[in-house]
Structure 1
Amino acid sequence: MEPVWFPPLPGCYKLNFDGVARQGLAAGGGVIRTHNGALVAAYDGNLNGHTSNQAEAMALAWGIEFSLSMGIRCMYIEGDSKLIIDVVKGQNRLNWTIEGPIRDTLRLISRLESFRIMHVFRGNGVVDALFALGLTNIGLRCWRSHTSLPPHVNFLLMEERIQTQIDDKALV
């Protein structure tokens, strides 16, 4: 069985981010976890009037900024927007509609000691739940404890953590 979430190496952290826009509403969100899946931070933000690409780009920039503010310097970064990942990697040209958050992301990434940014073909259930909350939220929120998360988000987080630990044991 394929795990829902793949952990980073010990000593590194993982940021999963996503964004969405539909019917005039837009939001972004993300989750930062340790190598064993423990929550470091989760966040969501409302971006009404923006496009999906803008929401994705903002969610990425927010995640890196939160990580740096907590002293994180080694990150694995995953998102399901190939466009955003390719632009950050320099493999696609920068579109003016996402120029601001991408430039912020590049500036912030330069402060990391080590990072790996990857495109994933599937979303992440925890992040999907977070940006869905962001659609109804005003502003930007950040949670630093799994117990402070809304119950359904905490459930998804714990479910992914348990699944990852089960899959790790099966590999031994």
Structure 2
Amino acid sequence: MEDLFDWWKRKAKTLTFSKVWLYGVALIPYFVWMERNARCHNSAAKQYKQCFAMVKGEICMFSSVHLGHPLSISDLLCARRLGIPRVVCKHREIIEVFWCPPFPGWVKLNIDGCSFGNPGKAGVRGIFRNERTKSILNFRKFVDIKTNFEAKFLAIMAGLEQAKDHGFQNLWIECDSATVVILQSKSLIPWFIQQRWRGILPFMNSINWKVSHCFREANTVADFLAKSATRLEISSLVAAWARSVFMDMDMDAAQHPRYRFP
């Protein structure tokens, strides 16, 4: 019994209706005991549906309202079956997401890295665009077996090396990983890429650059490049864009919003 109660309490921490679950640990044994006594001493027996209705009635008396995180459909149906009234949830906020062109005279680099398996086969990619939103350079590389975190840092490093080779002096780097952006902006470079970072550091100190975070919805072109590098295990420029990527680039150029549903 002690193990059962410990498990019941631990389980409550992972459930949406934790109070209902905790009420059950007392109410269910209580009604089972009451029904047993009625059958033994009074020769009276209720059907299990009646017993369950009594348990639900008691739960409803205590659980008069639910406030908190958004409920899933299954949670909402559970609340309806248990008779918990006035279920109040936080509304989901829909976010408009835009890709922003760089300042005049700047080049914007959108990068991404992905790993199929984390760790697994990984690819990095990036696309450089100018203030007129035109693509001036792209790259994609297969980087063997890596984690997602490693792939995204390798994508930044590959982009910086491309920027150095082409002599870009004003560079805006954009990535959809907040962790990578924070570490890069503070020069907290992971050990596995320290050597390459030291090699590129003189170039970084000689140019104007910044790094910022964006939502994945604003990074669709770079996402396509990385997944194609990973899936095909290739390292090459993209000579012919897929029609869907052309549409994404046109949406970026036209400042057309995409929508994010947190």
Q: State the superposition RMSD in angstroms.
A: 2.5
**5+ long unaligned stretches in structure 2:** 1-94, 258-262
Alpha-carbon distance between aligned partners in 2 of 1:134 and 1:101, rounded to the nearest angstrom: 21
Per the TM alignment, residue 51 of structure 1 is displaced from its structure 2 partner at its CA by 1.4
Indicate yes or no: 2:117 matched with 1:25.
no
Percent of aligned pairs sharing the same letter: 23
Match of 2:241 in 1: 149
With a CA cutoff of 8 Å and minimum separation of 6, indicate the structure with the bigger relative contact order: 1
What whole-Å deviation, never above 9, does each CA across 1:70-110 have from its counterpart, x for those lacking one? 2311011111222222222226x443234345445544422
Q: What's 1:131 paired with?
A: 226
Matched, 1:89 2:181: no
Write the letter of the residue equivalent to 1:72.
Answer: F
TM-score (norm 2): 0.54
| 1:41-60: CA deviation from partner (whole Å, max 9, x where unpaired) | 12111112111122111111
Mapped partners of 2:172, 2:98: distance in 1: 15
| Counterpart contact for 2:106–2:130, Cα < 8 Å | yes
Please point out which of 126, 129, 144 is paired with 1:48: 144
Distance 2:230 2:105 in 1: 33
Name the CA distance, whole Å, in 2 between partners of 1:55 and 1:41.
Answer: 20
Q: Which residue of 2 is the match for residue 170 of structure 1?
A: none
Task: Using structure 1 for the length normalisation, give the TM-score.
Answer: 0.78
Equivalent residue for 2:110, pick from 11, 16, 30? 16
CA distance in 1, matches of 2:196, 2:150: 8
Hey, what does 1:159 align to over in structure 2?
251
Change (3 A) 1:67 1:58: same
Q: What is the match of residue 37 of structure 2?
A: none
Q: 1:51 to 1:104 in 2, by over 3 A?
A: farther
Question: Structure 1 unaligned runs (5+)?
Answer: 168-172
| Displacement of 1:142 | 2.4
Runs of 4+ in 1 over 4 A off after TM superposition: none
Deviation per residue, 1:116-171 (Å, 9 max, x gap): 1112233501111111111123342224xxx633443333222321x22x68xxxx
CA contact (8 A) 2:112 2:152 kept: yes
| CA pair 105-136 structure 1, distance change in 2 beyond 3 A | farther
Return the match for 2:194 from 85, 99, 109: 99
Counterpart of 1:97 in structure 2: which amino acid? F
Bigger CA radius of gyration: 2
Q: Contact conserved, 2:97 with 2:215, CA < 8 A, in 1? A: no
Length, aligned pairs only: 160
